[in-house]
Structure 1
């Protein structure tokens, strides 16, 4: 979608754009969009101090009207956290037949981290966030998205939407990858607000869902309710897993639309975090081929041995 100043955060941020058939990174600051002589992958190979110095040299002004807004991700992997708020613990227990799994991880020393998306799959501001066609209960999950560099330093923040199939995960916690990882299941945007320009630790986070012009969900919470520190979660992600182009980390949700709500194509989802920005997506259906992998019936072990 075209870059509109009203869609960009008030704080200085990195914006990925397409201009003249080419993709690039720009710096939005003081109501002005300027060219950056490095891509996001390249910037995230630098230390935070080096990155700040590199951004201080951005110069050439860009015409907003000639730019298309893209998701703020290149080669970055996107990971996510679960059960980082009391409400998310309760919601996961409500949907699951294995409730103690979520009760235990809430207070456990080791957090829940899981892979969410490849960077090239991330949906940006104004794009279509997906629901699986084989899911009977799907929800958007608003989250603080944390951008880290290859050194594990937090360098940016954005709004994130961790689309999830609660019906699939509810059948069995081991189905979490299928409930969480599918086409258009992750949206991040509108841009990466620079970490040294904002402290979102006590910011309000809101989500509003509308359908056919009517609001069907409107909720608010505070990031101060998170029981784990985003920087510490980021450190755990990097602890034994090198990320040469950095990563985005979705840090969990405390806003869960209650039943009977399930996301439907055409719904509009607006996620806003104070000081970080506003992410708007419309819901689209993600086709399912109908593929199945039925278990084979096994004969008795002694018969299989020929006994």
Structure 2
């Protein structure tokens, strides 16, 4: 397997290859992994996320999967990196983590079969699909304000090529305590299926990212918390939560709310909704 990263080195954005505990630039410069300033390992033109995929998450939400995956979109302005700060805006309370595996597209992809999809995948990285559930009652289920705020899409630390996604463990830890503990064997739709499904109608370009879903137990985190997502064979993505100094403006747009849907999604517990309901992530 090969792992590549993007870092800031001597004031420049540089692609590097990981060799043990050292990152090596193509011009020969080296930096220790723990001393590097990481950037998002890719700069996608789009970030597509599946709503529900892991069996444990479906069971937790007391729902059932649709016949085919449903998706939402995180804007590229939400990108963040390993060791980056995730900002909870003033006036918001319900910021939740969702540890995920991110698929990175390697070449232009359109109208392919699941059996062909692997040839179009460059590799995989770790993602954390943070969401501000204060805005769950807006945007008609599109998740734009929930999942699209600045800093809410950390990716990294690197892109790993030659990694087999089958049967791999995925965990999310908060301040060193395990909160999510799943396995890719839980996924209803695997990585190849997701790529082929999106590429039926949307051209995927090199660097584009597909987030593949999260296991059960997505919960609220707070300023000062450190959130780590560990994936077997991909490493650890680490971020810390900070409070944003600027409040959500009150003179425009929908305001943060605390409906039953907001609270039950953010903190777990029973829903008033049963059976088929709007997509959850």
- Pairwise same-fold verdict (TM > 0.5): yes
Which residue does 1:187 correspond to in 2? 154
- Listed as ranges, the gaps of 5+ residues in structure 1 are 1-10, 37-59, 94-101, 295-307
99, 103, 107: which one aligns with 2:66: 107
Residue aligned with 1:201, SS: coil
Which residue does 2:83 correspond to in 1? 126
Is 1:78 paired with 2:35?
A: no
CA distance in 1, matches of 2:2, 2:205: 24
Which residue does 1:209 correspond to in 2? 174
Which residue does 1:300 correspond to in 2? none
- Listed as ranges, the gaps of 5+ residues in structure 2 are 110-119, 255-281
Question: Pairwise CA RMSD of aligned residues?
Answer: 2.6
Residue aligned with 2:172, SS: strand
Residue aligned with 2:73, SS: strand
Note the 1:3-152 alignment, pairs <5 A.
11-29=1-19, 33-36=23-26, 60-65=27-32, 68-91=37-60, 103=64, 106-109=65-68, 111-118=69-76, 121-152=78-109
Contact 1:131 1:263 in 2 (8 A): no
Which residue does 1:240 correspond to in 2? 201
Which residue does 1:252 correspond to in 2? 213
Displacement, 1:171? 6.8
Larger relative contact order, structure 1 or 2 (CA cutoff 8 Å, min sep 6)? 2
CA distance in 1, matches of 2:7, 2:59: 39
Deviations 1:120-154 (A, max 9, x none): 64111111123344433221000011101232311
Residue aligned with 2:221, SS: coil
Residue aligned with 1:231, SS: helix
Is 1:271 paired with 2:229?
A: yes
The count of residues paired between Structure 1 and Structure 2 equals: 240
Higher Cα Rg, which structure: 1
Q: Per the alignment, do residues 32 and 185 of structure 1 end up closer, same or farther by CA in structure 2, a change over 3 Å counting?
A: closer
Which residue does 2:271 correspond to in 1? none
Which residue does 1:40 correspond to in 2? none
Residue aligned with 1:87, SS: helix
Which residue does 1:159 correspond to in 2? 126
Displacement, 1:207? 0.9
Is 1:290 paired with 2:250?
A: yes
Displacement, 1:225? 0.4
Q: Per the alignment, do residues 151 and 271 of structure 1 end up closer, same or farther by CA in structure 2, a change over 3 Å counting?
A: same
Displacement, 1:175? 5.5
Q: Per the alignment, do residues 17 and 170 of structure 1 end up closer, same or farther by CA in structure 2, a change over 3 Å counting?
A: same
- Greater share of helix residues, 1 or 2? 1
Displacement, 1:92? 5.0
Residue aligned with 2:136, SS: helix
Residue aligned with 2:143, SS: helix
Contact 2:105 2:205 in 1 (8 A): no
Residue aligned with 1:244, SS: coil
Displacement, 1:275? 0.4
CA distance in 2, matches of 1:165, 1:147: 25
Contact 2:60 2:216 in 1 (8 A): no
Contact 1:207 1:255 in 2 (8 A): no
Displacement, 1:30? 5.6
Contact 1:16 1:71 in 2 (8 A): yes
Residue aligned with 2:81, SS: coil
Deviations 1:202-236 (A, max 9, x none): 111111112xxx74x53311111010011111122
